[in-house]
Amino acid sequence: MAHSQTMIGHGDGGWTRREFLYALAGGIVLASGISAGRWYFRPRLQSEAFVAKASDYGGNLSGLMVEGFRELGVAPEEIRGKRILLKPNLVETSMGAPHINTHPLVLRGAIEAFLRLGAATVMVAEGPGHRRDTLAVYEESGLADVLTEDRIRFHDLNYITGYTVQNIGRQSSLRTLTFPALFKEVDWIVSVAKMKTHHWTGATLSMKNLFGVMPGIYYGWPKNVLHHAGIENSILDINATLKPHFAIVDGIVGMEGDGPIMGDPKKVGVVVMGRNLAAVDATCCRIMGIDPHKVSYLERADNWLGPIAEGSIEQRGEAIAAVRTNFNLIDTIPAQQGIRLV
């Protein structure tokens, strides 16, 4: 059984109004002699997302994640002997603001879950964009205490020598992308993100979280090269080229308002998981009361990097309606204007 991006033809379920409009627009483009060149005309991708309730960080998060793996068809045979890299959202630290970063106990839960499924090694790696001193953020966030106790290695991605590959996404002007050489030594890259709104992109979840894999010694602070190339273009390029394997989103306490740093804590009480990052992020948006089709980079990722349409994502675990918690959106922030899910 395929789990991540199964393709089904339009004939299986008929055309949606959205698909019909795309087809109509494509016909106009083709009639004018301009190549459509888009993925709107491909068979629709399908994926799954698992949503679990977690009232606080003191619960059995590893057991919850093992259940998620089972629901998503991730069998022990698939993980056994693998080298797993967990990439948290480790941005900044501030007294009384633990909602900025992925919570250390979510990472502990993920570490334990992967080891229970037979992973050979699990490591944690991050390259924060806002602080040059990664180890200071690592220690101040509380992550150092957890990983030291669990004897898990942490890698600072900002200062690792990179290897350069062609930019498969080709959404920005960047012809190549440089990733940390450490990535050649792992089998799975897992984005362990935080559920947050964002000042420039509307929402930041598992796809945007991968900005932190780009080494600062090549991309600057706060990843200036990527900002100049266009944040949304760069999100798509990184995901298309890196092809991450899995996503886990910490939505137990998220951030609303002027994220990803200046916002306010938002208790949602969920963990969201899945093989396909676009599908996971679309699910998170719906939980946040945000329309993923109105988040530009997700709309552009649709049916290319993964599905974002509600009918193309099989929801496992809790229903979205049972956990939806509308996040505060600020009208004066352009990226948050008009993205509310009706």
Query: Is 2 contained in some domain?
Result: yes
On the CB side of 261, how many CA atoms lie within 13 Å of its CA?
A: 12
**Of 252, 334, 260, 335, the residue nearest 287 (C-alpha):** 252
Instruction: Provide the pLDDT for residue 12.
Output: 33
Residues 98, 225 within the same domain: yes
Residue 13's pLDDT is what?
Answer: 36
Assess if residue 341 is contained within a domain. no
Q: Is 71 in the same domain as 218?
A: yes
125-to-58, 62, 144, 187, 204 alpha-carbon distances in Å: 23, 19, 12, 14, 18
Asked, for residue 25, whether it belongs to a domain, the answer is yes
d(CA 268, CA 248): 15
Query: Average of pLDDT values for 13-29?
Result: 42
Contacts of 31 (CB under 8 A, 6+ apart): none
Residue 39: inside a domain:
no
| 209 plus 248 within the same structural domain | yes
Residue 122 included in any domain: yes
Is the pLDDT reported for residue 15 higher than 50? no
Residue 24: partners with Cβ closer than 8 Å, 6 or more residues away: none
313, 283 Cβ separation under 8 angstroms: yes
Beta bridge partners of 306: 302
Among residues 152, 12, 10, which one has the least CA distance to residue 85? 152
Domain that holds residue 12: 1-33
Q: Are residues 19 and 166 in the same domain?
A: no
Is 255 domain-assigned?
yes
270 and 320 belong to one structural domain: yes
* Token pair of 300 as six digits: 């552009």
53 within 8 A of 270, measured Cβ to Cβ:
yes
**DSSP one-letter code for 151:** T
| Sequence-ordered strand ranges (E) for 140-243 | 154-156, 162-166, 176-180, 188-198, 202-204
In 3D space, the residue among 299, 165, 179, 308 whose CA is nearest the CA of residue 232 turns out to be 299
pLDDT tens digits for 100-121? 999 999 999 999 999 999 999 9
Tokens 């200071």 sit on residue? 136
Q: Could you give the number of structural domains in the chain?
A: 2
Kindly state the DSSP code that residue 126 receives in the 8-state scheme: E
For residue 76, give every residue at least 6 positions away whose Cβ sits within 8 Å of its Cβ, in sequence order, or none: 117, 118
**One domain, residues 166 and 243:** yes
pLDDT at 21: 44
3-state secondary structure of 47: strand
Q: Which two three-digit tokens encode residue 29?
A: 């483009």
From the centroid of its chain, how far is CA 41? 25
Per-residue pLDDT tens digits for 144-201? 999 999 999 999 999 999 999 999 999 999 999 999 999 999 999 999 999 999 999 9
Q: Would you state the pLDDT for residue 23?
A: 44
**Can you give the pTM of this predicted structure?**
0.89
CB atoms within 10 A of CB 94: 13
In three-state secondary structure terms, 224 is: helix
Q: Is residue 173 part of a domain?
A: yes
Q: Has residue 99 been placed in a domain?
A: yes
